Amino acid sequence: MFKKILIANRGEIACRVMKTARRMGIATVAVYSDADANSLHTETADEAVHIGPPAAAESYLVIDRIIEACKKTGAEAVHPGYGFLSEREAFAQALADNDIVFIGPNKRAIAAMGDKIESKKAAAAAKVSTVPGYLGEIEDPKNAVKIADEIGYPVMIKASAGGGGKGMRIAWNASECAEGYELARSEARSSFGDDRVFIEKFIVNPRHIEIQVLGDKHGNVIHLGERECSIQRRNQKVIEEAPSPLLDEETRAAMGAQAVALAKAVDYDTAGTVEFVAGQDKSFYFLEMNTRLQVEHPVTELVTGIDLVEQMIRVAAGEELAFKQEDIKLNGWAVESRIYAEDPYRNFLPSIGRLVKYRPPHEGSFGGLTVRTDTGVYEGGEISMYYDPMIAKLVTHGPTRKAAIDLMSEALDAFYIDGIQHNIPFLTALMQSPRWQKGELSTGFIAEEYPDGFLPRQPEGEELKIMAAVAAAIDHLNNARRREITHQMDGSPVRFAAERVVALGDTMQAVHVEGSLGGPVNVRLFDDNGNLIDTLELAAKWWPGDTVWSGVVRNKDVSVQVRPILNGYDLAYQGIHVPARVFTKREAELTAHMPAQEAADTSKLLLCPMPGLVKAINVSVGDEVKPGDPLAVVEAMKMENILRAERDGTVSKINAGPGDSLAVDDVIMEFT
């Protein structure tokens, strides 16, 4: 077994590999760019080596610097994680040339499967069902449109060396194909250093299901069941689960057999994933093979009990797999939510900055349930514009799919992040979706369920009662705490009115609240005529200043995030995100006379929707624009975003140019 390994990656996956290595008694080496000098993975490793500037092309993608770091530290092997150099044949060759073990597949497997064009050719030769498409070289946008016309729309344009949704575009017509071809090539070039793309038929209403395979250097290959990864946005996975609610045992066995056969054809000898696009009728077609560890590997680990990172290390050291296919059993259900630094209220545009507060839910196993958080950040750390926007992966496991989903919902409610925008409100709302809970999934799920973008759920019914009661309780306990502050002036004790009115957004709820610090709080709710409609007892150890109210309401575990705002609290629960203010009856009457504050008119400005780098300005002063016309391209976190005109106008002023770094709401251009 190795004594020391280097992890040629950063962030969450680097920390994940180090966790297993430490348990195995193996020392670890981290590499880092200027942007990651104070990152968690550099602190977690036993040693850390600086490898260059922030841009991945000048640091994490430079093979010579990784090898130099190995030699400097005496690392015997390298785990590549996912992304970066993980699927580069040249990297595996360079390591071999320097007598360093690659904790990944053999070079032949990388060449055949790591390249998406070559993998489709290999799959076709192996009689594996594949999606119709064109795998040859595509010269220019005109050639791309010609090919797409022949295949028939819609088509998928994909980077050959791509992954993680980068360098991928769906085109429904010729103009989208030409534009998507250029964008896919540009993203592929900047993310992977390879701008080759291919085009294939896009299967309408598909599901994305993948099989985890595991091989060793003695010819053994098995599969560990499937993962459903259909919940995607912009072709990037958001939620994954294992097993899939679509598959039956027969289909699972058929997909697994194809995946194993394909892996054996290239002597596959580590952890890898064979991805399929599946129809709702359980038909399936080979999509691609990822010759590396997948982001979503934890759900497979939780349902099989097998540590995939450990198996990769053992296989790389020459050990034979300790189990056979018949030993693999799928136990319970696991769900993973990817926590991203993006603003769900601004069409999920990237968000960067400092994590002022970062409080993940409690991890561990209890009563047959498990909560796990894989992360590469810490409170006070910074989310950089140079890399992927993932903050963490939250994973839950239970005996049934419903149990895993319910636990995920509770864990998301307790996951507290401040300082940047993040997608937790969206994830918590999605967990309440009836369609999601029924398992009626497709890769178009998010676009279909949120056609007008994501808006927070509005409180109603039981959720409104719970949030009103929690708002009343925390206000009541805050008042009680203030009366216990020492050295207050003598006099008659202050009595706070028990009758209050809770304003949840535009909803007013009359309540009567009683209770004390450290004890239960009873809240009675009344209708507009003063009639009692319900009584709730809230049992919690919440103390003024706590960021999450966690307690029991009606024998149910409830977590509500609490953020102080002017004269109230901002509450988040089950995808509902509303300001809450608690008034006396007289204060509530007076609020009706308060004028509403109107937002400034920005209709004649193009504002930068996220922090990023201006890649292009598509217009000049004096140009007339129509709705939909491209105005500028802004890059953030390896994704290029086209900003388009929303209405007719004439460009009167341009305030930014290519290469400029902008903050949220910086004015890019003005119109008349």
Encoding tokens for residue 621? 């002063």
435 token code pair: 């369609």
Residue of 200, 226, 288, 463 with catalytic role: 288
Measured between alpha carbons, how far is residue 556 from residues 461, 498, 669 in Å? 16, 25, 51
388: which residues sit within 8 A by CB, 6+ positions away?
11, 83, 164, 637, 638
CA torsion, points 453, 455, 349, 563, in degrees to nearest 10?
180
Tokens of 480: 């009680």
DSSP 496-512: --SEEEEEETTEEEEEE
In eight-state DSSP terms, residue 111 is: I
**Residue that is written with structure tokens 């709705």 in the block:** 627
Let me know: does 159 contact 166? Beta carbons within 8 Å.
Answer: yes
Instruction: Look at strands 27-33 and 47-52 and give their pairing.
Output: parallel
366: left (phi over 0), alpha (psi -120 to 50) or beta: beta
**Which residues have C-beta within 8 Å of that of residue 257, sequence separation ≥ 6?**
none
Q: Is 68 a catalytic residue?
A: no
| Residue spans of beta strands (DSSP E) within 60-165 | 77-79, 101-102, 133-134, 155-163
Residue that the structure tokens 């946005």 belong to:
233
Q: Do 246 and 228 contact (CB within 8 A), yes or no?
A: yes
Q: Could you please report the per-residue DSSP string of 484-552?
A: T-SSPPPSSPP---SEEEEEETTEEEEEEEEE-TTS-EEEEEE-TTS-EEEEEEEEE---TT-SEEEEE
- What residues contact 351, with CB distance under 8 A and at least 6 apart? 341, 342, 343, 383, 389, 420, 421, 422, 610, 611, 664
- Catalogue the active-site residues: 288
